[in-house]
Each structure stands twice: as structure tokens, then as C-alpha cells.
Amino acid sequence: MARVLFDLQYMLKTMVYPRENEFMRELRQITNEHIFGFMSSPPDEGLVLSLLLKLMGAKRTIEVGVYTGCSVLATALAIPDDGRIVAIDVSREYFDLGLPVIKKAGVAHKVDFREGPAGPILDKLIADEDEGSFDFAFVDADKYNYGNYHEQLLRLVRVGGVLAYDNTLWGGTVAMPDDTPLTEEDRKKRDSIRGFNAMIAADTRVDPVQLPIADGITLCRRVV
């Protein structure tokens, strides 16, 4: 465990912080001061997603779960000027904390924020827009609904596109023995994420890989 922490600190100091965009740094610092700052996507994850989006040439993306908008800003900085992010969250209260920084970065025009539960909004996207018209989706929201979001997003993301799911290690609890002492809420989320991970591992419609970055991120390339 100590080696993992030392490795992470080394990577942050060597590769992440020196290359961190100034607006990403500003928003990260604002978010870290918030009571729920731990919910934000960390900077190393943001750089991974940014590089992936650039390699893909992604232009149209979906984000389920926005918080202050750290991953939204990372995406907006990575996609072309005429790109579009449909950013979904049940409340825009926290997003409004980060919006001034997103505007300062000159990328607010790429963000289409939609307030409300993700399920109905995704259903409306399916009904209103061509299926398979998005290049990328990032999910960091209600863990119990990851499986439902996966089915909806598979209809919205094109073949060859990527779906990314955050927190798929849930603090390492998914790998701990079943009788590990946990709060009731953590136990429920651990079990839910275990089930989701098993579902993805068996899903022949995607090529998945689970990376031990931040709290675990699972990338799924749609193949069917």
C-alpha cells in the first residue's frame, strides 16, 4: 500500500501537476475546498480521459453526473471548438460553482447542461436524436443505476465509441472479503458495483478494461 501511495505522489509531481491546464487547476482547487470535494474526478484521471478523447478524435460526448464540472472541463478542453457535451445532473447547484471557470476557459459554449434524473434525459436523447451519434460517455453518478445507464448509453454511443464508468473499485471494497466491516451504505454500493463489474466482464457488446486509476475507471469500447 505504501508503495502505491509513493508511486501516485511521484506520478502527480512528475507528469500530472506540471502538465495540468491552468483552468483545470483553478477548478480543482475550488472543488477541493468544498465539503464534497472528494467526489470530484482527480487530476490524473482527467489527463487520462483528455488523452483518450484526443486519440479518438471525439466530438460529441455525454456526461452523467457533473458535480462542479472538473471532468466536463477536461472534456471541453480536449474536444474541438464545435464539439458538444451533454452534461446531466440532478441539480446544477454544484455545477454553478465551476461554471465561472469553464466560462473563463472559453469552452462554456460546448456544454449543454441538462438538469434532472439521468434515466429520463437519456431516454429523451434516444427518442430525439439519432442513435449512435455520440463518440464518448462518462458516468460518475448513481452507482445503483450503472447497469441501466449502460443499456441506454449503448444505444447513444456509436460502434467504436467508448463508455467510461468511474468508481468501479469503490475504495477497494470490491476486492475485500464479504465480511469486511463496512457501513450498510458502502456494503450496498460495493455489492452493486460488483454486480456491474461482472455484467461488463460478460458483455460481448463491448471490449472492456478496468484501470486502477483514482477509484477505478472502467473503459468499454462498443463493438456491436
pLDDT tens by residue, the chain, 224 residues: 556 778 889 999 999 999 999 999 999 999 999 878 777 788 999 999 999 999 999 999 999 999 999 999 999 999 999 999 999 999 999 999 999 999 999 999 999 999 999 999 999 999 997 799 999 999 999 999 999 999 999 999 999 999 999 999 999 999 999 999 999 999 999 999 999 999 999 999 999 999 999 999 999 999 99
Pick the CATH number of 1-222 from 2.115.10.20, 3.40.50.150, 3.90.1660.10, 3.40.720.10: 3.40.50.150
Query: What is the C-alpha separation between 61 and 72, in angstroms, rounded?
Result: 10
- The DSSP string of 76-108 is HHHS-TT-EEEEEES-STTHHHHHHHHHHTT-G
pLDDT of residue 3: 67
pLDDT of residue 194: 98
What is the domain partition of the chain in residue ranges?
A: 1-222
